[in-house]
Structure 1
């Protein structure tokens, strides 16, 4: 029988190469709201939500002042940040709107709703929330019916009023 990873396995953190640490901290901490946990010299920082040791590591070890990676190359497509509720996603989206920060997309995937954007180094970022499992759409055979449909951004914004 093929090995199956344990059900409760989670992806614990990501570590991103950035060109400018202060600029990256401005995006992830000041705009998205992560908390700076510690720095590692002048070239790396570790940030989190809720006091975890780190959800995101940022460093300039190989990338200081470098241009973004080419779009048409292998590598990270996006980092996905899961919010606990739709209202939490709405608050994050409202912050982007108020900061006039460009989004690259917004989708309803049936199982989740997502906002897409790029960080200052052009790393893709997905901000999303999952619908409750019992609300996930299913095909007649019981498998998931995931899709990509336009997200009603006005309705999402109303969640945070």
Structure 2
């Protein structure tokens, strides 16, 4: 097979999740995380966005209404990563999560980014993160990227 590289301008346009309950999902994604409801498709689907895009996340119950989450040790989506513009934006969401007593599963410094991990109401993984400036990304001696996973100090994040 020939060496093909997808164009560098390519971006992930949206993620579409099967959920068990549209209202619970909207309460989480819009009410807690702050996404904007753009439109619904009957009572079975909703499309939400940051900044007025047609949708970054689609939610539907077409095949999953009132269903249980899939078993943990099976294939499927690991998490949806939501990239925030600044470290302060991540701190604001952390404060909202804490105020709502929403369970946080983990928090990591990856060298290139800082991330908070949680699950949505249907146990779909969600990563909330911001990218550090590229000139601060850690490098190995050979110049290659040196990503890692270290604990993120959440108190430092909130107080920064």
The two structures have a TM-score, normalised by structure 2, of 0.98
d(CA) in 2 for partners of 1:41, 1:144: 46
Structure 2 CA distance, aligned partners of 1:84 and 1:156?
A: 15
Query: CA offsets per residue over residues 60-107 of structure 1, 9 Å max, x none?
Result: 000000000111000000000000000001001110011000000000
User: 1:142 corresponds to which residue?
Assistant: 143
| 1:7-156 equivalent positions in 2, closer than 5 A | 7-156=8-157
Counterparts of 1:11 and 1:134, CA distance in 2: 24
Supply the RMSD in Å over aligned alpha carbons: 0.7
Give the TM-score normalised by the residue count of structure 1.
0.97
Residue aligned with 2:47, SS: strand
What is the distance in 2 between the residues matched to 1:7 and 1:134?
19
Alpha-carbon deviation of 1:142? 1.1
Aligned length: 159
Whole-Å Cα distance in 1 between the matches of residues 120 and 80 of structure 2? 10
How many angstroms apart in 2 are the aligned matches of 1:141 and 1:75?
Answer: 35
Structure 2 segments unaligned to the other structure (5+ residues): none
Compute the displacement of 1:8 (Å): 1.5
State the shift of 1:31 in Å. 0.2
The Cα shift of 1:150 comes to 0.4
Q: Partners of 1:95 and 1:41 in 2: how far apart?
A: 30
- How far did 1:125 drift? 0.2
